[in-house]
């Protein structure tokens, strides 16, 4: 007989994420949804103030279809400058529940509210934005910066979005398609990254389709995301203010442009986001950003002999600033090597990291070896993601 807790767990998983039925000719699967991909040409969008003008007829129709889907309290995947997001009306619990179901996301993880104007922030915040954010907003909005705001008692934001927090995260994306979608729908959007929970965040529409086909009705393809890692999350409601998640705005930029209160800010768990000093034990990590293949981070000056015990069949080699694929030849004579360069600048490494993970999986690699970078500038966000994806750091 099954235990009570097993039954509770399986009921729970059915509720949050019904199993996908195989597609067969004689019956329409009960839970599987038809997923449509529409293209919006980002260059066709212009803003007059916050009013959206779209010069391409097909893009305009796609934008209206997506806005209508959101107004009907359904979900839409859309491009932002950081990664693709999975958006829904943050004021509707029904709509937000569809995000958690589609991603299979742990239900205690709060969502960021995306806005297209300061006026829209004030509709959900009800009070002016705390002045500690004035200089950061002036410099980085629209852009890859999420600020924590106090959650007012009479907020229209669904409690499913904020998950028992006294705060909510808020950002104004820079990508013209994201801003146009928020403006056209008239809705502030709750939006996590549009990957299935635990998978690398999607930086192209095809990545969203890999994870979300059959689970959501609509994906907007607006081309590759520029930054490639998620927004920086900052908390100015505590003293001293701090960076909760390094991302598209570097901590050096926050210190330089945030005003005097941000001049010495640190990243929470700063030791944990730099490269660990010793190899970590397998399994000692929270599963996140993870491709199917095992991921190993290596210091640029690693002694290659330390890698020879790994015995892979097919290895993806993701090198960047100091190493190249030639550094790995001969280590595993039995294995096929796939060269997937990350680029020669940290900006390129951010842009390419998640997408290279997915390429390695599609190519059937069982091991991904990634060159670590130093944690200055974009390096802090890169190493934060790499540390979470990697089971081991070898130096």
What is the binding site for ligand TXA (CB under 6 A)? Answer: 80, 82-83, 85, 109-112, 144, 146, 148, 165, 167-169, 191-193, 230-231, 233, 244-245
CA distance 249 to 246: 7
Q: Three-state SS for 263?
A: coil
Which residue is associated with the tokens 């130096």? 395
Compare residues 110 and 188 and give the one whose CB is closer to ligand TXA. Answer: 110
Sign for the CA dihedral angle at 327, 329, 334, 338 comes to positive
What does the block give as tokens for 363? 């190519």
Compare residues 90 and 365 and give the one whose CB is closer to ligand TXA. Answer: 90
CA distance 211 to 336: 27
Least distance (Å) from Mg ion to the CB of residue 288?
8
Judge whether 383 and 299 are in contact, CB under 8 Å.
no
Compare residues 82 and 185 and give the one whose CB is closer to ligand TXA. Answer: 82
Residue 30 sits at φ, ψ, to 5 deg, of: -70, -40
Compare residues 55 and 165 and give the one whose CB is closer to ligand TXA. Answer: 165
Report 284-303 residues binding Mg ion (CB under 5 A): none
Judge whether 249 and 350 are in contact, CB under 8 Å.
no
Least distance (Å) from ligand TXA to the CB of residue 372?
22
CA distance 364 to 369: 14
State the binding partner of 165 from ligand TXA, Mg ion, none, CB within 5 to 8 A by kind.
Answer: ligand TXA
State the binding partner of 169 from ligand TXA, Mg ion, none, CB within 5 to 8 A by kind.
Answer: ligand TXA
Least distance (Å) from ligand TXA to the CB of residue 139?
17
CA distance 14 to 27: 21
Least distance (Å) from Mg ion to the CB of residue 193?
3
State the binding partner of 82 from Mg ion, ligand TXA, none, CB within 5 to 8 A by kind.
Answer: ligand TXA
Q: Three-state SS for 268?
A: coil
Least distance (Å) from ligand TXA to the CB of residue 46?
22
Alpha-carbon separation of residue 270 from 4, 27, 255, 267, 364 (angstroms): 41, 53, 15, 5, 34
Helix/strand/coil percent split, the chain, to 5: 35, 20, 45
State the binding partner of 110 from Mg ion, ligand TXA, none, CB within 5 to 8 A by kind.
Answer: ligand TXA
Q: Is residue 69 part of the contact set for Mg ion (CB under 5 A)?
A: no
State the binding partner of 335 from Mg ion, ligand TXA, none, CB within 5 to 8 A by kind.
Answer: none
Least distance (Å) from ligand TXA to the CB of residue 196?
12
State the binding partner of 244 from Mg ion, ligand TXA, none, CB within 5 to 8 A by kind.
Answer: ligand TXA
What does the block give as tokens for 19? 């199993």
CA distance 317 to 275: 19
Number of residues that bind Mg ion (CB under 5 A): 1
Which x/- pattern, by CB under 5 A, does the window 191-220 give for Mg ion? --x---------------------------
What does the binding site for Mg ion look like in residue numbers (CB under 5 A)?
193
């Amino acid at each position: 007989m099954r235990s009570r807790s097993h039954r509770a767990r399986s009921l729970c998983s059915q509720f949050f994420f019904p199993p996908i039925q195989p597609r067969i000719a004689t019956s329409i699967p009960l839970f599987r949804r038809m997923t449509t991909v529409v293209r919006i040409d980002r260059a066709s969008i212009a803003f007059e103030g916050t009013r959206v003008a779209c010069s391409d007829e097909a893009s305009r129709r796609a934008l209206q279809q997506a806005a209508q889907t959101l107004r009907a309290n359904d979900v839409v995947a859309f491009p932002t400058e950081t990664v693709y997001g999975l958006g829904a009306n943050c004021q509707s619990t029904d709509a937000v529940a569809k995000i958690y179901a589609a991603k299979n996301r742990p239900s205690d993880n709060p969502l960021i509210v995306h806005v297209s104007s300061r006026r829209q922030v004030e509709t959900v915040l009800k009070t002016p934005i705390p002045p500690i954010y004035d200089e950061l907003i002036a410099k980085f909005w629209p852009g890859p910066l999420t600020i924590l705001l106090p959650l007012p008692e009479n907020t229209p934001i669904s409690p499913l979005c904020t998950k028992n927090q006294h705060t909510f995260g808020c950002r104004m994306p820079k990508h013209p398609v994201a801003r146009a979608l928020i403006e056209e729908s008239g809705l502030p959007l709750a939006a996590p990254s549009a990957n299935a929970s635990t998978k690398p965040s999607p930086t192209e529409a095809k990545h969203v389709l890999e994870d979300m086909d059959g689970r959501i009705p609509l994906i907007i393809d607006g081309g590759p995301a520029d930054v490639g890692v998620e927004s920086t999350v900052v908390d100015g409601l505590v003293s001293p203010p701090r960076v909760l998640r390094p991302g598209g705005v570097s901590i050096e930029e926050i210190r330089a442009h945030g005003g005097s209160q941000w001049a010495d800010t640190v990243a929470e768990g700063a030791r944990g986001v730099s490269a660990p000093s010793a190899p970590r034990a397998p399994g000692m990590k929270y599963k996140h950003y993870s491709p199917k293949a095992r991921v190993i981070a290596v210091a640029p000056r690693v002694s290659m002999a330390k890698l020879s015990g790994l015995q892979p069949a097919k290895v993806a080699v993701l090198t960047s600033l100091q190493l190249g694929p030639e550094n790995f030849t001969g280590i595993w004579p039995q294995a096929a090597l796939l060269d997937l360069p990350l680029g020669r600048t940290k900006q390129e490494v951010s842009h390419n990291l998640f997408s290279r993970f997915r390429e390695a999986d599609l190519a059937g690699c069982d091991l991904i070896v990634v060159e670590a970078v130093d944690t200055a500038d974009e390096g802090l966000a890169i190493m934060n993601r790499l540390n979470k994806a990697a089971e081991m750091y070898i130096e």
